[in-house]
Amino acid sequence: MRMHWLLGAIGPLALTGAAAPAALAAETYPSQAGPVSVVTIADGLEQPWGLAFLPDGRMLVTEKEGRLRIVAVDGGVSEPLGGVPEVYDGGQGGLLDVAADPDFGSNQFVYLSYSEPGEGGAGTAVARGTLSGGRLDGVQVIWRQQPKLGAGQHFGSRLVFLPDGTLIVTLGDRNTREYIADKQAQVGKLVRIDRDGSIPEDNPFAGDEVYSPDIYSLGHRNVQGATLHPTTGRLWTAEHGARGGDEINMPEPGKNYGWPVISYGREYGGGKIGEGTSKPGLEQPIYYWDPSIAPSGMAFYSGDKFPEWQGNLFVGALKSRLLTRLEVDGNRVVREERLLEDMGERIRDVRQGPDGHLYLLTDEDDGRLLRLEPAG
């Protein structure tokens, strides 16, 4: 990995004491919009999971084992930042998503989602700290999933700020169905919290003695993608199915999205899941994949580098090792194109950068931060 010491305060951080980053490598792949150049911005990252842009164009990148790094615009990679909380690095758990506060320019808050160890096993947690030089200061856990469980799967963990400034935390069923129907357990749910971890008064179950007041929606298997539509501001999510049945949803407050009562997938052993593909009172997906692609990070494209792609939804795939482009018409997905299939790497996160390019993280032991550009 290209390593540079991280110095300075909250403004742009100087990368000194080391050679400049190596020349950026590029590969070209076909698309319906013409050839696409995939540029390696940084490599040598160990299972990178989450990517967030700072206002000055620098990038925060998490590594699953528990490291948070800053990647400079030119690709220089910092030493691991201090102040990151202890994580449970096992199975699918570890240091997962990262997000900068909508008011980062004035408060320098950074949010981390991760699998937190504790009594009973581990559970998704969200911590917030202030970025100051090469560390996070004043880190506090603002939200914890309950109960903690021994399973090492399905932590969810995407972070996305809604237009009103509240924070959505996506979760999974922790590979157990025991707690999904438990109205007090944040298992198989999405939750919505304020930026300090308090509960918004307009949450669908706020003041309800039956449901945990942080719950936003229910019936989710493992949501690892979440983004906002650039025009409507609506939340869209990508969710892992079992053997097939990966879903795109538009979660609405208080609604149930069916898992494990309905699904378009099958059990890994081949048997039927629940009661079929539909049931009154349970929501249908906007789109689904069968067989599974194992969707992860996702982003709508609204930049000017690829005019043909404006309004399209991009989703990274782990199992299928590709980037899928979905053409959207209102609340419907009308066409799919599969990109970068020959690259052969698990795509964990997808983001649009402030420069109008798409950025990807590959979830590999020698993971890469990539930028998509029009070739030529």
Residues involved in catalysis? 154
Q: Number of helices (H) and strands (E), helices first, in the chain?
A: 1, 27
Cis peptide bond prior to 200, omega within 30° of 0: no
Q: How far apart are CA 303 and CA 289, in angstroms?
A: 27
Neighbours of 119 (CB within 10 A): 6
User: Is-contact 78 134, C-beta < 8 A?
Assistant: yes
Q: What whole-number distance in Å separates Cα of residue 2 and Cα of residue 78?
A: 8
Radius of gyration of the chain from its Cα atoms, rounded to whole angstroms: 20
Is 246 strand, coil or helix? strand
Burial status of residue 296 (CB atoms within 10 A of its CB: 0-12, 13-18, 19 or more): buried
What backbone phi and psi angles, to 5 degrees, belong to 15?
-110, 105
Identify the burial level of 233 via C-beta atoms within 10 angstroms of its C-beta, where 0-12 means exposed, 13-18 middle and 19 or more buried. exposed
Cβ neighbours of residue 178 closer than 8 Å, sequence gap 6 or more: none
Helix (H) or strand (E) holding 215: strand 215-218
Distance separating the N- and C-terminal Cα atoms of the chain: 28
Phi, psi for 57 (deg, rounded to 5): 95, -15
Instruction: Report the DSSP beta bridge partners of residue 18.
Output: none
* 244 within 8 A of 265, measured Cβ to Cβ: yes
**C-alpha angle 154/320/145, rounded to 5°?**
10
